[in-house]
Amino acid sequence: MRYTVVLTGEYPPIAREILAPAFDVIQHPTEQARTEEEIITILSEADAAITLLGDPLTRNVLAANPNLRMVANYAVGYNNVDVEAARELGITVTNTPGVLTDATADLTMALMLAITRRVVEGDDEIRTTGRCEWEPMKLLGISLQGKRLGIIGMGRIGSAVAERARAFGMEVVGSRRGESIDDVLATSDVISVHAPLTRETHHIIDAAALSRMKPGAYIVNTSRGPLIDENALCDALDSGHLRGAALDVYEFEPEVNPRLLRMRNVVIVPHIGSATDEARTAMARIAAMDVFRFLNGQPPLNPVVPQPRA
């Protein structure tokens, strides 16, 4: 029997190179905000699939195709997957951990520098005026040296950010899952968010948490958008309580809060934490190899929902 593997987006070529010799591969164009009905149709022929973080792998979707046996989510996170439904239906789910740690940590530092040194504002000024005019008090920011970085979520990425921040001369404090973040919020000049999205961490940075941050502090989020209540964040920025924010992820992706778009003290980029040639290719290789192993009767290497026992 020749299995069919569905790719729900345009992944790096290594995925097809691994899968096409052994299986029938159907590749769909990358699309934003698919509905349940659309993803059910896309997966209708799949024995296994490589899926995007934005694909809603709900119970209805997972149950719609009785031949679907395995999903390789092209991401570290898997909050788009109903893992309990997958477990009950006997569908194996994998992710792509580890390989995007450095890329995301690098972007975190880039965003931290961009917001604290007002890089985007300066770029916009020159593009708008066509001039470079030096003034003693223009676009003053802060130095990172000697400042305290508070990391919420000291996992792989959070730890990699801490290593980089110390090289910039920052003092680093952090909290792990289940720990109080109050001291981190109250004492840090910059907060960087790296927690996974769960029921417990949804809006972990809400109005109350923002009010506990140091006046004039900055916040950076390269994790998951719904960890921050964006309207509360905008209120804290409007009031001057926070000096700036830098975001790679958004509460209601792919939509972005219009208030954020109007703020000059906010740096925004389109979810590019893992967007390096090296990281995205490695993610595709991991996802494809797990599909290859699974369909050849071997256990995948990165299970979120393990392969059911025979």
For the chain, list the domains and their CATH numbers. 4-99+277-305 (3.40.50.720), 101-268 (3.40.50.720)
| 231: CB partners within 8 A, 6+ apart | 257, 259
Per the annotation, the verdict on 271 as an active-site residue is yes
- The DSSP secondary structure of 51-113, one letter per residue, reads E-TTS-B-HHHHHH-TT--EEEESSS--TTB-HHHHHHHT-EEE---STTHHHHHHHHHHHHH
Residues in the chain where the model's pLDDT stays below 70: 307-310
Tell me, what's the pLDDT at 144? Answer: 98
* Annotated active-site residue in 16, 148, 156, 271: 271
pTM of the predicted structure, to 2 decimals: 0.89
Per the annotation, the verdict on 202 as an active-site residue is no
Tell me, what's the pLDDT at 104? Answer: 97
Residue that the structure tokens 């699974």 belong to: 294
* Annotated active-site residue in 59, 87, 253, 293: 253
* Annotated active-site residue in 224, 243, 280, 285: 224
Cβ pair 47, 68 in contact under 8 A? yes
Per the annotation, the verdict on 194 as an active-site residue is no
Tell me, what's the pLDDT at 310? Answer: 46
Q: To 10 degrees, the CA torsion angle through 156, 157, 160, 166?
A: -120
Distances from the Cα of 131 to the Cα of 119, 122, 127, 128, 164, angstroms: 15, 11, 8, 8, 34
For the record, the structure tokens of 186 come out as 């109250």
In tens, the pLDDT along 163-187 reads: 999 999 999 999 988 899 999 999 9
